[in-house]
Every structure is written in structure tokens, then in C-alpha cells.
Amino acid sequence: MNRINKLFQEKPSNILSIYYTAGFPELGDTLLIAEELERAGADMLEIGFPYSDPVADGPVIQASSKQALENGMDLKTLFSQLKDLRSRINIPILLMGYVNPMLQFGVENFCKACAEVGVDGCIVPDLPMAEYEEHYQEIFKQYNLSNIFLVTPQTSEERIRKIDELSTGFVYLISSSATTGKNLQVSQNTEDYFARVAGMKLRNPTMIGFGINNKATFDKACQFANGAIIGTAFVNVLSEGTSAAGIQKFMKSISE
């Protein structure tokens, strides 16, 4: 069983997933940060592979991607860093990034490398669903990789049902159509959107992301989904360094 599915089976609520950018703030920090996050109680990690044109990301994650690229991070380097992943980390790991670097690396090469190092799934926001289904779905299945699709407040019920059908890990609910880093504002419209998706009784679990930055927003998101994803707020912490104390303090601020 994929580690993502096992996690949701064993812990169906209040799952905390943390996003950070590979190679930031320093090139060699990727696994060290993962170890500290697991030690501090993260349930799942999303490691971003940087790209020069991160259109869905806000300024904080854009800056981290720019720094990571300047540090020398690319997919070849990332997979080299992750070769010891499963001797050091037990929780589910996803890679998140844009389709262009993946295509340049080769989709099958990418999936094979993920399987070899123990990555459990991928989030590629700009990979069209139809293209995935026609060209890549079988490759992902071959390497036991979950491909995570994003849903926005504007996504139709028909499309959400299709995403649920194609998904094998969880469905990622974007809290708004803004870029990452905006604070979660749970208006009546947002609550209606979350409640609408919850009412669809999807086959897959759901996680809410974009704007989750503290205990209050995490707890609010968990009222509507199996858990939530924190990215920008944690990348901000890393901007000040990768000390174990800093990571522990941040994680305690969410969980306590």
C-alpha cells in the first residue's frame, strides 16, 4: 500500500502536511529539513522542485525557488539528495512542481527516479488532467505514484468527480484562486465551497491548502477536510535559517 493511503487509513483527520522548496535556503538542506519536520510531528511532506516561472506561487515561494535555482538545485541533484530518503524518513513524501522540468527530465525517467528513492506521489498543478489521463496515468501506476490534482472554488462538480476518479492519494482543495501565501479568509462563499465538496462524499480524502499559516487556520481547514497543507508560512521560517529549534517552535505553534 502506498504510504499516502496508509496515512489516511491510520489517521483520517487533522493531518498536517508541510511544503518547502528543495535546495533552500542552502543546497544541501533538503533531507535535513525533512528529518526535523518528521521529528517535530509532520504527517506528510511536499518537497518543491524549483522552476524559473512559478506562476501559481506567491512572492515568498517564488523567492525560495529563485534562491534554490541559484544554489544549483535541479531534478538530477534532488534525486541524488533523496537516494538516502527511506533510510532516514518514514512519513509520506510528495514532490511538487511544474510540468516543464518534469518533461525535460522525461516523465518516465521522473517516475522511475521517484520510485527508486521512495517518493510516494506528485503534485504538478499545470499538468492538464486530459494529458495525464491519456499519456501518463499508466506510467504513474506502474511506479505506484499518486498524482494529486487541485480543485478550486470554481471547479465544476463534473470535473471534481473526474478528478476523484483519477486520484489515488487525496484531492487538494485550493482555498481560493489566489497565489500561495495569501491568508485563509473563510468567508461564507469559502465555507459553502468546502461544504459542497464535503457533501459530494468523494472516494478520496481531501486536504486544504493556500493560506493555512497558523493553528487557527489549520484547525478551521480541518473542520472541512482530512487535513491541511502549510507552505509559505514555513518557507518564511526557513528564510531565517534551518535550526532544529526554529522548526520545532513553528511546528508547536500549529499543534499546541
- Model pTM greater than 0.85? yes
Cβ atoms of residues 162 and 203 within 8 Å: no
Cβ atoms of residues 204 and 11 within 8 Å: no
Assess if residue 1 is contained within a domain: no
Q: Domain count of the chain?
A: 1
- Cis upstream peptide for 25 (omega within 30°): yes
Instruction: Print the domain residue range for 26.
Output: 14-255
pLDDT digits (tens, 9 = 90+) for 129-163: 999 999 999 999 999 999 999 999 999 999 999 99
- Return the CATH number at 138: 3.20.20.70
Catalytic machinery residues: 46, 57
Assess if residue 2 is contained within a domain: no
Neighbours of 204 (CB within 10 A): 21
Assess if residue 30 is contained within a domain: yes
Alpha carbons 22 and 197: distance in angstroms, whole number: 31
Assess if residue 35 is contained within a domain: yes
Assess if residue 165 is contained within a domain: yes
pLDDT digits (tens, 9 = 90+) for 35-83: 999 999 999 999 999 988 767 678 999 999 999 999 999 999 999 999 9
Alpha carbons 153 and 222: distance in angstroms, whole number: 17
Assess if residue 97 is contained within a domain: yes
